[in-house]
């Protein structure tokens, strides 16, 4: 599958943004989708993931309770709703897809073979 992330921007601390990951290609519904982020000078960090069906979602502790991942397989999209944003959430956000059947740890980048181009999120204090 091919992925394209969108929806980034500049927001004040405490605000909200909604990112979207649009997928093209066949069998998207068999893929788990994750969001990662990378801040300048830092390693890529896991944000969260959603299972192929959308039934199960998983989050990093740093975003739990603030971020929500949802997917619509009919539209081939996965969204990341980000609330109560903090300056430390500033990063380039990437969506990634990997065959659900092959994933052991949703937080590990090695299980994802399709990546979007990234979208910048900047949270001002």
Confidence at residue 7, expressed as pLDDT on a 0 to 100 scale: 97
Report the chain's mean pLDDT, rounded to a whole number.
Answer: 96
Collapse the DSSP code of 97 into the 3-class scheme (helix H, G, I; strand E, B; otherwise coil) and give the result: strand
Give dist(CA 68, CA 57) in Å, integer: 8
**Please, which residues bridge with residue 32 across strands?**
98
Q: Is 6 helix (H, G, I), strand (E, B) or coil?
A: strand
The predicted-structure confidence for 83-108, as pLDDT tens digits, reads as follows 999 999 999 999 999 998 888 899 99
- CA distance linking residue 78 with residue 73, whole number of Å: 8
Q: Is the dihedral of CA 73, 54, 60, 104 positive or negative?
A: negative
Q: What is the mean pLDDT of residues 23-34?
A: 91
Band (25; pLDDT cuts 50, 70, 90): confident
DSSP 86: -
């Amino acid at each position: 599958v091919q992925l394209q992330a969108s929806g980034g921007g500049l927001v004040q601390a405490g605000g909200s943004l909604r990112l979207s990951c649009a997928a093209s290609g066949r069998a998207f519904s068999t893929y788990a989708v994750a969001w990662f982020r990378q801040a300048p000078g830092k390693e890529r960090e896991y944000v969260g993931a959603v299972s192929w069906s959308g039934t199960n979602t998983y989050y990093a502790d740093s975003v739990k309770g603030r971020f929500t991942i949802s997917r619509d397989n009919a539209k081939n999209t996965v969204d990341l709703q980000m609330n109560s944003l903090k300056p430390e959430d500033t990063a380039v956000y990437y969506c990634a897809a990997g065959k659900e059947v092959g994933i052991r740890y949703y937080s590990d980048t090695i299980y994802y073979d399709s990546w979007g181009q990234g979208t910048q999120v900047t949270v001002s204090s």
